[in-house]
Chain A
Amino acid sequence: DQQVKQNSPSLSVQEGRISILNCDYTNSMFDYFLWYKKYPAEGPTFLISISSIKDKNEDGRFTVFLNKSAKHLSLHIVPSQPGDSAVYFCAAYNTDKLIFGTGTRLQVFP
């Protein structure tokens, strides 16, 4: 039972354009959401988070949007850069447990 779903396994975007990564969740008890970025042979690193009391959070080129009624969040990267090429994981907290999605591989090409 996948509580956090990333339905697009991969995404390819041209440098300078917007990258939009999507995430859906099923558990309405989730109250805190995060995005992590992972390069090959490294551990995931924290990117940005959002509390369920907000619907948007920005940090530089990265913005996360939360739509609680749709149980959907998205990560926008503007402008996309080649160094953004990585696997992006959406994650959500259920009390003490941090549950991850399956990941989306983003490739930013010149």
Chain B
Amino acid sequence: NAGVTQTPKFQVLKTGQSMTLQCAQDMNHEYMSWYRQDPGMGLRLIHYSVGAGITDQGEVPNGYNVSRSTTEDFPLRLLSAAPSQTSVYFCASGEDRQETQYFGPGTRLLVL
């Protein structure tokens, strides 16, 4: 099992550009989520999904979109990147909402 994979590892964007951060898991987990990590702020929940076709907002959803068309994939879309979205993004998955969550290695995003 590859576990949770994220691509790209690192990305530089200009303000206003759009991009999609990819997340995939091969553990057949129903629950998936996206977090961002910023200095002094810990990990903040952006969006989460309890199964294919079901998504909901977390603590800091503004500026981000998600969809969950398959169990395996949970992409995070930045529609119009802003410098405030410079962060490290982590995707996680778990068998259920209250089971242990497994995190991917992260995507470091820099918005200029």
Residues of A near any B CB (own CB < 8 A): 4, 6, 9, 32, 34, 36, 41-46, 49, 89, 91, 93, 95-103
Contact between A98 and B45, CB atoms less than 8 A apart = yes
CA distance A9 to B42 in the complex (A): 10
Number of residues of chain B lying within 8 A (CB) of chain A? 26
Closest A residue to B3 using CB positions: A43
Residues of chain A lying within 8 A (CB to CB) of residue B42: 4, 6, 89, 100-103
A98 touching B40 in the complex, CB below 8 Å, given contacts A43-B4, A43-B106, A44-B90:
no
CA distance A102 to B14 in the complex (A): 28
Residues of B near any A CB (own CB < 8 A): 4, 31, 33, 35, 40-45, 48, 50, 56, 58-59, 90, 92, 97-98, 100-106
Residues of chain A lying within 8 A (CB to CB) of residue B58: 97
Chain B contact surface mostly: strand
Closest B residue to A1 using CB positions: B59
Residues of chain B lying within 8 A (CB to CB) of residue A103: 42-43
CB proximity of A24 to chain B, nearest CB, Å: 13
Contact between B45 and A97, CB atoms less than 8 A apart = yes
Residues of chain A lying within 8 A (CB to CB) of residue B31: 96
CA distance A36 to B94 in the complex (A): 14
CB proximity of A19 to chain B, nearest CB, Å: 19
CB proximity of B43 to chain A, nearest CB, Å: 4
